[in-house]
C-alpha cells in the first residue's frame, strides 16, 4: 500500500508537469517560477532546519566510543573510532561522511537451531548506498555545465572520465548506470527484506520514486527523446544569472524532469533527506571522548539540584553510626535522664 | 528462574512466529498493532510511597502524581491533561537536547540497526528493532512538531498521542537497556539510548514508572545505596568479608575503613559488591589489592553507591544521586576518587558527572601513589576506574602475582555496554586478565569490544517479574559465551559491571549451566601474593585451586 501510494504520487506529479507545461504560460510556470520557488524553499528550509538543530544545546558529551579510549600512555588508542582530540573528531567525521564507515560495520544476524545466532558480513547496503551517493554527486556536478558559460576545465575532465567507456552516442555515462542500479537495489531491498519493509513509510518510498523519476527522465532526455539542448542551456544559464528566458520549443520531458527536481528541492528540508545535514550535528559522532579530561558545560545545568546532604544523612543515622564506631561530624547529644516512660497501655 | 523452561525457549526463539524467524506480522502497519500487557512482560509500577518520597526530595513534578495503579488495567489513573504534559515535555526536551532533535529528524529507516539489538534478536518483536522503537516516539514528534506531519498525518508517518501509544512506550522503552549497540552501526550515529532516556523522562512526567528502578533510587538517596543498607549494616557487611579473606589467605586485613577524613583516595563501589554473590568476591579482590600496595583509602557509607538508578529515570535524579560523590570527597578532604567495577556507574561518571556536578576543583589530578602515574585522562573529573588503576600497577611491576592460582578458571571477558560504548574502556581489563590468568579466550569478534552484547537486563530491567524477556534479551550474549565454552572449555565469564555480575549469573544458569561469573578484581585477588599469607589452597569463593581439588581440608 505504502509503495503504491508513493508511486501514484510521483506519477501524478509527472502528469501535472506533462499537462501543465502545455497550457499557456505553463512553460514559464514550470521552467522558471516553480524552480525558483523550490530553490527558495530549499535554501530557507535547509538553513532553518540546521539552525533549529543548532539552537538546541548539547548538554552532555555523549560520543559513542567505538574503540579503545585515550587512557594510559602505553595502551594504544583507537584515534579514529574513539577520538579524544578535535583532529581525531574531524578524521572520524570525514570517514563517516565520505566512506559511511559506521554502515561498513554492518552485519547480518540469523538464528538457527540450537538456538544459535550466526553473524555474517553484510556490506551490500554500504556498497549500494555509497554507489548511489557518489553517482548522484557526479551527476549533480555534471549538471553544472548547464549553469556555467564557459564551462570550467574540471567539468570537462569529469565528463570525460564518466564517459570513459565510450559506449554509444551520445556517450553513455557510467554514473547514470550506477545511479539507477543502486537506486533499484535500495528500493528492492526495502520491499524484499521483511524487516525493512515493515518499517518503511511513504516517507521512504516517495523520495526513492521521486529520485528514480528524475533519473529516468534525465536519461530519456539524453539518450532517447530529443530535446533542444541549446534552448535548455539558454534557460538554465538564464536561471543561474537571474535573467531567465524561454525561447522556442524545449520538449515536455524537460519540464517533467525539472518539475520533479523542484519537488525534490522543496521536499528535502522537511524530510528524512535532511540526514545530509544531520550527520554533521550528531553528538554521538562529532564530539571528542574527553569528558573526564575537559569539563563539558551544560548551559541549563540546574545548580539547585543538590544531593541529599551528609548532615541530613548523619542526623537520621547518627546513633547507629556512633554505635558502629563510624566517625560522625556531630557527637550524640548526651541523653537526658530517661524520662519516666509513659504508662504502658 | 525464568517462567519458560529452557528447552521450550530454545525452540521458541528459533521457530516462534517472529520477524527474526522470517514470519511477517499480519498487520501491514505497525501502528495498528496494540501493546498488550500480560504477567511476565512488564515491570511492576512504582509504589505510591516511593514515588511520593522521590517527589518530595526532588520537587518539580518530574515524577507525576504518586498513586497506586495497575499496568494491565485500562485505567492508569493518569492526570486529566496527561497528553498536554507529554507534548509539552517533548517540546522542552527538544529545546534542551540537540541529540533528541537531530535523531527525531534524520533517520532514513535503512534498517542497519534492526538485527543489532539483543532484544530484537531474542524476541523477534518488530518493535524491538531500534528503528521502530524510535519510530514509536518519532511518529508523535511528526504529528505535533513537523509541518509534513501536521498536514499529511498518517501519510507522513505521523500519529496522535493516545493511551495506546503510551502503553507502547511503556512496553518498549522498558525493553531497551540503553546499551548503544545500535548506535555503533547507525550511519548517523542515532543513539537509541538517548531516545529511550527521553521517552522514560516523558513517561515519568505522567507517573508511569517501575518500582524496580524507583525503589533503589530512593534508597540511594536516603541511605546512600540501592539496597537501603544503613551505615552500620553496610559496614558490618563489608567487614564480614574480612573473615572470608582471612580464611582463604590467613591474613586479617587492617586497612578497611569508613568515612575517614584525610584519606588520600575515596573509593566508591557499586553497593552490590558488599552484599551479593558474586560481587562480594570482587570486593574481596579490591581489599586485597589495596592492602597489597598499602593504599591510603576510605569507603564512604554516605556515598556508598556507585551505581545510579536515577540515570534510568531522568537527568535530574541522575544528577541528584551522583552529587554525593563529589560532596563526600569534599567533606572527607580526599585528593581524588577511585571507582569500582560497574557499568552504568561509569557511563554517568565518564560522560555526565563533571558536567552535572563539577567542577571538582577541590580535588587534585589523580596520581597513583605507588607508580607516580598521573591519570591525565581524568584530569578534570578526578575519578579513575579501578581497571585503569590496576593495569597501571601491573605495568609498573608493583604487584606480586601468581596467575596459576586462576588455573582452575578458563576465562572469557564480557565487555559491559557502558564502559565499552560510553567510555572506551576495552584493553585495560584485558591487560589485567592476561596478567592474572593463564587461560583467557575471547568470544567471537562481533560480540565483544564496541560490538559487545548487553546482558539483557541493564537500565533497571534486572527484576524477577520479566525473567522470560531477560533470558531472551540475554540470548546473544549467552550464545557467544556458549561458543567459547564449547570450543575452549570456558568456565568463567568475567566482567567489570555489578549489574552484569548479578544478571549474567541468572543468564548463565539458564543458557549455559556450568559457567560462573566474576568481576575482574576477583581474579586479581586470587592471584595476588600477599606478604605473610599462608599457602592458599582455595580461591576467594572457597573453591579449590587447580591441583588442590582432592584436598579435603581445602575449606
**Residue B1, pLDDT above cutoff 90:** no
**Residue A345, pLDDT above cutoff 70:** no
pLDDT in the model for residue B550: 66
Per-position DSSP letters for B208-265, written without gaps between them: ---HHHHHHHHHHHHHSSTT---HHHHHHHHHHHHHHHHHHHS-------BS-TT-SE
Mutate to test the interface with B, among A300, A326, A332 (most CBs of B within 10 A): A326
| DSSP-derived 3-state class of residue B268 | strand
Question: How do residues B350-395 score in pLDDT, each as one tens digit?
Answer: 999 999 999 999 999 999 999 999 999 999 999 999 999 999 999 9
pLDDT in the model for residue A148: 86
Query: What band does B504 get if pLDDT is binned at 50, 70 and 90?
Result: very high
Domain annotation covers residue B258: yes
| DSSP-derived 3-state class of residue A39 | helix
Instruction: Name the residue among B106, B501, B503, B136 with its Cα closest to residue B282.
Output: B501
Total structural domains within chain B: 2
pLDDT in the model for residue B552: 53
Helices marked H in B349-450: 354-357, 386-395, 417-421, 427-436
Query: What band does A337 get if pLDDT is binned at 50, 70 and 90?
Result: low
Q: Is the same domain home to B321 and B440?
A: yes
pLDDT in the model for residue A340: 54
Q: How far apart are CA B406 and CA B436, in angstroms?
A: 7
Domain annotation covers residue B271: yes
What does the mean pLDDT of chain A come to? 93
Percent of chain B with pLDDT over 70: 99
CB pairs < 8 Å spanning A and B: 335
Q: Which of A19-23, A250-254, B61-65 ranks highest by mean pLDDT? A: B61-65
**Residue A344, pLDDT above cutoff 50:** no
Q: How far apart are CA B28 and CA B268, in angstroms?
A: 51
Q: Is the same domain home to B202 and B252?
A: no
Q: What is the ipTM of this complex?
A: 0.94
Domain annotation covers residue B307: yes
pLDDT in the model for residue A341: 52
Q: Is the same domain home to B311 and B182?
A: no
Compute the average pLDDT of residues B106-133. 96
pLDDT in the model for residue B554: 44
pLDDT in the model for residue A166: 79
Residues 6 or more apart whose Cβ sits within 8 Å of residue B449: A67, B415, B420, B426
State the residue range of the domain holding B97.
6-209
| Contact state of B30 with A112 under an 8 Å Cβ cutoff | no
**Least confident span in A48-62, A73-87, A139-153:** A139-153
Using CA atoms, how far residue B338 sits from B325, B382, B385, B386, B394, in Å, is 10, 9, 6, 6, 17
Check CB contact of B201 with chain A, cutoff 8 Å: no
Q: End-to-end CA distance of chain B: give it in Å, rounded.
A: 29
Mutate to test the interface with A, among B57, B100, B111, B382 (most CBs of A within 10 A): B111
Q: Is the same domain home to B242 and B205?
A: no
pLDDT in the model for residue A333: 83
Query: What band does A338 get if pLDDT is binned at 50, 70 and 90?
Result: low
Q: Provide the chain B residues 57-116 that lie in CB contact (below 8 A) with chain A.
A: 57-58, 94-103, 105-112, 114-116
State pTM to two decimals: 0.95
**Least confident span in A52-56, A278-282, B12-16, B277-281:** B12-16
Query: So where are chain A's domains?
Result: 2-281, 309-335
Given the candidates 3.30.70.940, 1.20.210.10, 3.55.10.10, 1.20.950.20, the CATH classification of the domain at A2-281 is 1.20.950.20
Check CB contact of B411 with chain A, cutoff 8 Å: no
Buried b (16+ CB within 10 A) or exposed e, B208-231: bbbbbbbbbbbbbbbbbbbbbbbb
Residues of A in contact with B423 (CB under 8 A): 65, 69, 289
**Residue B553, pLDDT above cutoff 60:** no
Compute the average pLDDT of residues B330-353. 98
Q: How far is A320 from chain B (nearest CA, A)?
A: 6
**Least confident span in A164-168, A198-202, A275-279, B54-58:** A164-168
Who among B96, B112, B446 is closest to A300 (CB)? B96
Q: End-to-end CA distance of chain A: give it in Å, rounded.
A: 78
Q: Is the same domain home to B177 and B269?
A: no
Who among A68, A109, A302 is closest to B424 (CB)? A68
**Residue A226, pLDDT above cutoff 90:** no
**Residue B509, pLDDT above cutoff 80:** yes
Q: Is the same domain home to B186 and B234?
A: no
pLDDT in the model for residue A336: 67
Q: Provide the chain B residues 476-535 that lie in CB contact (below 8 A) with chain A.
A: 476, 479-480
**Residue B174, pLDDT above cutoff 60:** yes
Domain annotation covers residue B32: yes
pLDDT in the model for residue A246: 87
Query: What band does B511 get if pLDDT is binned at 50, 70 and 90?
Result: very high
pLDDT in the model for residue B548: 83
Residues of A in contact with B190 (CB under 8 A): 282, 284
Query: What band does B16 get if pLDDT is binned at 50, 70 and 90?
Result: confident
Q: How far apart are CA A44 and CA A34, in angstroms?
A: 15
Domain annotation covers residue B56: yes
**Residue A68, pLDDT above cutoff 90:** yes
Compute the average pLDDT of residues A142-161. 90
Compute the average pLDDT of residues A188-204. 94
> Of B209, B239, B260, which residue constitutes the final position of a domain?
B209
Q: Is the same domain home to B195 and B228?
A: no
Query: What band does B21 get if pLDDT is binned at 50, 70 and 90?
Result: confident
Question: How do residues B416-438 score in pLDDT, each as one tens digit?
Answer: 999 999 999 999 999 999 999 99
**Residue B22, pLDDT above cutoff 80:** no
Q: How far is B480 from chain A (nearest CA, A)?
A: 8
Mutate to test the interface with A, among B17, B106, B131 (most CBs of A within 10 A): B106
Residues of A in contact with B105 (CB under 8 A): 49, 53, 272, 274, 278
What does the mean pLDDT of chain B come to? 96
Q: Is the same domain home to B362 and B453?
A: yes
Q: A192: which 3 cell numbers?
A: 524484499
Compute the average pLDDT of residues B87-101. 98
Who among A59, A69, A81 is closest to B425 (CB)? A69
Amino acid at each position: 500500500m505504502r509503495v503504491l501510494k508513493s508511486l501514484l504520487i510521483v506519477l501524478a506529479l509527472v502528469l501535472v508537469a506533462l499537462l501543465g507545461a502545455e497550457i499557456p504560460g505553463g512553460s514559464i510556470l514550470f521552467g522558471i517560477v516553480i524552480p525558483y520557488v523550490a530553490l527558495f524553499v530549499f535554501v530557507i528550509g535547509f538553513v532553518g532546519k540546521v539552525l533549529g538543530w543548532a539552537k538546541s544545546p548539547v548538554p552532555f558529551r555523549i560520543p559513542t566510543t567505538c574503540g579503545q579510549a585515550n587512557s594510559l600512555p602505553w595502551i594504544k588508542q583507537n584515534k579514529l573510532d574513539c577520538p579524544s582530540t578535535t583532529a581525531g573528531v574531524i578524521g572520524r567525521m570525514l570517514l563517516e561522511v565520505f566512506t559511511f564507515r559506521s554502515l561498513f560495520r554492518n552485519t547480518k544476524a540469523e538464528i538457527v537451531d540450537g538456538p544459535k545466532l550466526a553473524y555474517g558480513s553484510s556490506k551490500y547496503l554500504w556498497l549500494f548506498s555509497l554507489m548511489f551517493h557518489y553517482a548522484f554527486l557526479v551527476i549533480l556536478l555534471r549538471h553544472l555545465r548547464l549553469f556555467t558559460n564557459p564551462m570550467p576545465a574540471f567539468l570537462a575532465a569529469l565528463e570525460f572520465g564518466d564517459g570513459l567507456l565510450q559506449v554509444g552516442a551520445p556517450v553513455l555515462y557510467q554514473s547514470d548506470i550506477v545511479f539507477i542500479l543502486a537506486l533499484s537495489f535500495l528500493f528492492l531491498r526495502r520491499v524484499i527484506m521483511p524487516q525493512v519493509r515493515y518499517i518503511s513509510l511513504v516517507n521512504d518510498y516517495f523520495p526513492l520514486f521521486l529520485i528514480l523519476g528524475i533519473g529516468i527522465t534525465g536519461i530519456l532526455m539524453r539518450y532517447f527523446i530529443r530535446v533542444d539542448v541549446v534552448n535548455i542551456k539558454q534557460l538554465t544559464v538564464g536561471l543561474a544569472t537571474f535573467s531567465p528566458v524561454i525561447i522556442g520549443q524545449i520538449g515536455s520531458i524537460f519540464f517533467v524532469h525539472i518539475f520533479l527536481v523542484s519537488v525534490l528541492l522543496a521536499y528535502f528540508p522537511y524530510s528524512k533527506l535532511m540526514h545530509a545535514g544531520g550527520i554533521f550535528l550528531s553528538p554521538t559522532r562529532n564530539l571528542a571522548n574527553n569528558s573526564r579530561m575537559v569539563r563539558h558545560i551544560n548551559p541549563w545545568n540546574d545548580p539547585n539540584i543538590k544531593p541529599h546532604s551528609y548532615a541530613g544523612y548523619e542526623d537520621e543515622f547518627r546513633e547507629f553510626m556512633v554505635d558502629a564506631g563510624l566517625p560522625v561530624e556531630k557527637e550524640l547529644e548526651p541523653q537526658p535522664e530517661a524520662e519516666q516512660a509513659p504508662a504502658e497501655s | 528462574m525464568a517462567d519458560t523452561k529452557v528447552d521450550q525457549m530454545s525452540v521458541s526463539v528459533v521457530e516462534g512466529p517472529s520477524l527474526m524467524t522470517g514470519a511477517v506480522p499480519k498487520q501491514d502497519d505497525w501502528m495498528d498493532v496494540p501493546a498488550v500487557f500480560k504477567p511476565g512482560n512488564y515491570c511492576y509500577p512504582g509504589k505510591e510511597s516511593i514515588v511520593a518520597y522521590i517527589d518530595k526530595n526532588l520537587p518539580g513534578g518530574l515524577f507525576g502524581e504518586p498513586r497506586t495503579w495497575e499496568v494491565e488495567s485500562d485505567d492508569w489513573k493518569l492526570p486529566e491533561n496527561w497528553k498536554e504534559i507529554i507534548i509539552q515535555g517533548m517540546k522542552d526536551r527538544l529545546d534542551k537536547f540537540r541529540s533528541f532533535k537531530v535523531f527525531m529528524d534524520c533517520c532514513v529507516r535503512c534498517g542497519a540497526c534492526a538485527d543489532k539489538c539483543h532484544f530484537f534478536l531474542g524476541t523477534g518483536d518488530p518493535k524491538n528493532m531500534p528503528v521502530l522503537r524510535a519510530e514509536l516516539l518519532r511518529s508523535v514528534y511528526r504529528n505535533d512538531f513537523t509541518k509534513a506531519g501536521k498536514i499529511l498525518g498518517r501519510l507522513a508517518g505521523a500519529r496522535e498521542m493516545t493511551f495506546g501509544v503510551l502503553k507502547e512506550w511503556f512496553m518498549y522503552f522498558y525493553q531497551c537497556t540503553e546499551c548503544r549497540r545500535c548506535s555503533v552501526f547507525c550511519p548517523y550515529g542515532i543513539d537509541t539510548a538517548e531516545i529511550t532516556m527521553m521517552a522514560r523522562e516523558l513517561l515519568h512526567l505522567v507517573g508511569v514508572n517501575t518500582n524496580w528502578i524507583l525503589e533503589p533510587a530512593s534508597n540511594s538517596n536516603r541511605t546512600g545505596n540501592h539496597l537501603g543498607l544503613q551505615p552500620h549494616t553496610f559496614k558490618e557487611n563489608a567487614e564480614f568479608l574480612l573473615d572470608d579473606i582471612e580464611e582463604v589467605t590467613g591474613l586479617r586485613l587492617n586497612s578497611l575503613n569508613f568515612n575517614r577524613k584525610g584519606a588520600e583516595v575515596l573509593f566508591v563501589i557499586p553497593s552490590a559488591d558488599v552484599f551479593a554473590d558474586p560481587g562480594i568476591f570482587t570486593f574481596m579482590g579490591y581489599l586485597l589489592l589495596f592492602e597489597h600496595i598499602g593504599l591510603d583509602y576510605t569507603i564512604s557509607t554516605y556515598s556508598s553507591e556507585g551505581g545510579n538508578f536515577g540515570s534510568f529515570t531522568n537527568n535530574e535524579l541522575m544528577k541528584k544521586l551522583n552529587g554525593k560523590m563529589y560532596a563526600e570527597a569534599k567533606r572527607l578532604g580526599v585528593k581524588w576518587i577511585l571507582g569500582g567495577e560497574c557499568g552504568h556507574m561509569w557511563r554517568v561518571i565518564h560522560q555526565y558527572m563533571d558536567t552535572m556536578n563539577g567542577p571538582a576543583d577541590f580535588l587534585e589530578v589523580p596520581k597513583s601513589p605507588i607508580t607516580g602515574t598521573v591519570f591525565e585522562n581524568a584530569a578534570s573529573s578526578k575519578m579513575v576506574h579501578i581497571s585503569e588503576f590496576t593495569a597501571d600497577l601491573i605495568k609498573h611491576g608493583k604487584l606480586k602475582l601468581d596467575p596459576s592460582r586462576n588455573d582452575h578458571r578458563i576465562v572469557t571477558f564480557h565487555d559491559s555496554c557502558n564502559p565499552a560504548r560510553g567510555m572506551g574502556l576495552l584493553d585495560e581489563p584485558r591487560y589485567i586478565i592476561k596478567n592474572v590468568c593463564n587461560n583467557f579466550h575471547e568470544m567471537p569478534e562481533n560480540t565483544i569490544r564496541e560490538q559487545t552484547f548487553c546482558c539483557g537486563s541493564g537500565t533497571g530491567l534486572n527484576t524477577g517479574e520479566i525473567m522470560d524477556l531477560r533470558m531472551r534479551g540475554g540470548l546473544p550474549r549467552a550464545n557467544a559465551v556458549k561458543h567459547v565454552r564449547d570450543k575452549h572449555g570456558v568456565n568463567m565469564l568475567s566482567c567489570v559491571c555489578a549489574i552484569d555480575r548479578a544478571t549474567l549469573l541468572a543468564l548463565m544458569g539458564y543458557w549455559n549451566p556450568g559457567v560462573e561469573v566474576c568481576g575482574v578484581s576477583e581474579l586479581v585477588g586470587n592471584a595476588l601474593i600477599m606478604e605473610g599469607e599462608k599457602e592458599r589452597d582455595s580461591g576467594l569463593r572457597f573453591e579449590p585451586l587447580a591441583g588442590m581439588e582432592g584436598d579435603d581440608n581445602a575449606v
